[in-house]
Amino acid sequence: MAPIELTDANFQSEVLESDVPVLVDFWAAWCGPCRAIAPIVTELASEYAGRAKVGKVDVDVNPQTAMQYGVRSIPTLLFFVGGQVRDQMIGSAAKREFQKRLDALVGQTA
């Protein structure tokens, strides 16, 4: 299962109105560390299917959403529950770090 492609247009419905936690990866095609964690993000989308959503925002195509959340460096990963940012990571990390943070949010609701 691939991550959801998030845009300025669908961010409200896919992330802010989601009834499960959402991991949002802010990235760009030219960003080396973004490409490095892309396979991890894809694996997480499959592993957490039904328990959490995993999506990606291309900051070059969707600058409004990136600006709204103060994304200044990429990759930036924001973890949402009930439409609110509950955690964030900046830069690349090991898969277990992403899992640990997602696990802490799965099962939480607004």
CATH of residue 90 = 3.40.30.10
Count of Cβ atoms closer than 10 Å to residue 52 Cβ: 22
Is there a domain that residue 62 lies in?
yes
Residue 3 in contact with residue 13, Cβ under 8 Å? no
State in Å, rounded, how far the first CA of the chain is from the last one. Answer: 26
**34 counts as catalytic:** yes
Say if pTM beats, i.e. exceeds, 0.85.
Answer: yes
Is there a domain that residue 36 lies in?
yes
Is it the case that residue 62 has pLDDT exceeding 60?
Answer: yes
Residue among 31, 37, 77, 78 flagged as catalytic:
31
Is there a domain that residue 110 lies in?
no
pLDDT band at 1 (very low <50, low <70, confident <90, very high): confident
**Token output for 98:** 């992403």
Which pLDDT score, from 0 to 100, does residue 109 have? 55
Is there a domain that residue 75 lies in?
yes
Average pLDDT of the chain is 95
Tracing tokens 């989308």 back to the chain, one arrives at: 45
Sign of CA dihedral 52, 99, 107, 23: negative
Is there a domain that residue 42 lies in?
yes
Residue among 22, 24, 34, 37 flagged as catalytic:
34
Is there a domain that residue 93 lies in?
yes
Counting the structural domains of the chain, the total is 1
Residue type, 84: Q
Is there a domain that residue 100 lies in?
yes
Is there a domain that residue 39 lies in?
yes
**Mean pLDDT computed over 55-81:** 97
Strand-pair category, 22-27 with 76-81: antiparallel
Residue 84 belongs to domain spanning? 4-105
